[in-house]
Amino acid sequence: MKSIKTLGQFIIEKQADFPYAKGELSRLLRDIGIAAKIVNREVNKAGLVDILGNVQGVNVSGESQKKLDVYADEQFITALKSGGECCFVASEEQDEGVQLVDDGVSKDANYVVCIDPLDGSSNIEVNVSVGTIFSIYRRKSNAGEDVSQDDLLQKGTKQVAAGYIIYGSSTMLVYTTGKGVNGFTLDPSIGEFCLSHPNMTIPKDGHIYSINEGNYLKFPQGIKDYIKYCQVEDAASNRPFTSRYIGSMVADIHRNLLMGGIFIYPQTAQQPFGKLRLMYECNPIAFIIEQAGGKASTGEQRIMEVTPHHLHQRVPAIIGSTKMVDKVLSFL
């Protein structure tokens, strides 16, 4: 029988690679993995229990929150708080950063986390994959000092780790610490994430494009031109390409990571920065895709080089196989 390697074993093995190898980042990743298993359990029984539907209130972006969004938010924040390695969290579900202080303990923690606890949550009710996306930074202030928004508002290039969990036909955790990308599949029989996709790389080119074409009329001309390019017949470049859009960023990105492809969420006249959030959607995904050998751009610059001004900032996103991203950029 082939031996398995759990996420916990892998993290410990890789600990020496981390920039500050004191085990803090390892513990932080482990805490996220534990919360992911708890959220996975609830996502899996979403159709069974009375947990669907809106709870009162809307999140900071004016969208109605689903109960599982709130549940996932609580689980990740609780895990980060009790783990003690994170002092400040930015979450899609929280207007402001959440300071994790428990009898003063976490104030000394060296890391801050940006997280979308349950992305694509409008898909839960129809049994379509959803995800969690996270990004980890060293705090800017010194341990023991008060934390401020400045600790969270760092460029994506400063990420020390990032990952996503996809709650799909199987549940996977994919993460990077800047030394490649590794994927772990949850084995429900033993309750462990097991290394299933070592050293993931995205094909340099692909033939899948993922974009919400319902918004076509509102897209910038260059994006419209690219979509038409994808649809033209040309045997030499394997066109027409295949259009695949799940509407769950993690699921669309995960498929493209494995098969090659491009994901685009552009700006429109109504949404000059697009829809997706820089700090907890685009930056972590950009870090993973770049680490897998792909590219992530706003159309004007590398996503990870965008200067953040507020926690819920939006950016246009063009993410995927290098050749496909370059092709889109040539149309802009």
Summarize as ranges the residues that interact with Mg ion (CB under 5 A): 116, 119
Report how far residue 214's alpha carbon sits from residue 326's, in angstroms, rounded to the nearest whole number.
24
121 touches, from Mg ion, ligand AHM, none (C-beta below 5 to 8 Å by class):
ligand AHM
Instruction: Decide if residue 54 touches ligand AHM (CB under 6 A).
Output: no
Task: Find the DSSP H helices in the chain.
Answer: 7-14, 24-44, 67-83, 149-152, 221-231, 249-259, 283-291, 322-331
One-letter amino acid identity for 129? S
Report whether 156 contacts 306 (CB < 8 A): yes
Near ligand AHM by CB under 6 A, which window of 48-56, 98-106, 156-164, 242-250?
242-250
Burial zone of 57 (CB within 10 Å; 0-12 exposed, 13-18 middle, 19+ buried)? exposed
- The phi and psi torsions of 307 (rounded to 5 degrees) equal -80, 120
Q: In Å, how far are 263, 268, 281, 296, 318 from 223, measured between CA atoms? A: 12, 10, 21, 15, 10
Report how far residue 328's alpha carbon sits from residue 266's, in angstroms, rounded to the nearest whole number.
11
247 touches, from Mg ion, ligand AHM, none (C-beta below 5 to 8 Å by class):
ligand AHM
CB of 280 to Mg ion, least distance (A): 7
Instruction: Decide if residue 212 touches ligand AHM (CB under 6 A).
Output: yes
85 touches, from ligand AHM, Mg ion, none (C-beta below 5 to 8 Å by class):
none
Query: What is the x/- site pattern for ligand AHM, positions 10-49, by CB under 6 A?
Result: ----------------------------------------
Among 275, 287, 304, 308, binds ligand AHM (CB under 6 A): 275
By rule CB under 6 A, what count of residues binds ligand AHM?
Answer: 11
Instruction: Decide if residue 63 touches ligand AHM (CB under 6 A).
Output: yes
Instruction: Decide if residue 95 touches ligand AHM (CB under 6 A).
Output: no
274 touches, from Mg ion, ligand AHM, none (C-beta below 5 to 8 Å by class):
none
213 touches, from ligand AHM, Mg ion, none (C-beta below 5 to 8 Å by class):
none
Q: Which residue, 98 or 264, is less far from ligand AHM as judged by CB? A: 264
Report how far residue 195's alpha carbon sits from residue 251's, in angstroms, rounded to the nearest whole number.
19
Instruction: Decide if residue 247 touches ligand AHM (CB under 6 A).
Output: yes
Report whether 26 contacts 15 (CB < 8 A): yes
Q: Which residue, 83 or 320, is less far from ligand AHM as judged by CB? A: 320
Report how far residue 27's alpha carbon sits from residue 80's, in angstroms, rounded to the nearest whole number.
10
> In b/e form, how buried is each residue of 143-175, taking b as 16+ CB within 10 angstroms?
eeeebeeebbbbbbeebbbbbbbbbbeebbbbb
Instruction: Decide if residue 120 touches ligand AHM (CB under 6 A).
Output: yes
Q: Which residue, 83 or 274, is less far from ligand AHM as judged by CB? A: 274
Residues that bind ligand AHM (CB under 6 A): 63, 92, 116, 119-121, 212, 247-249, 275
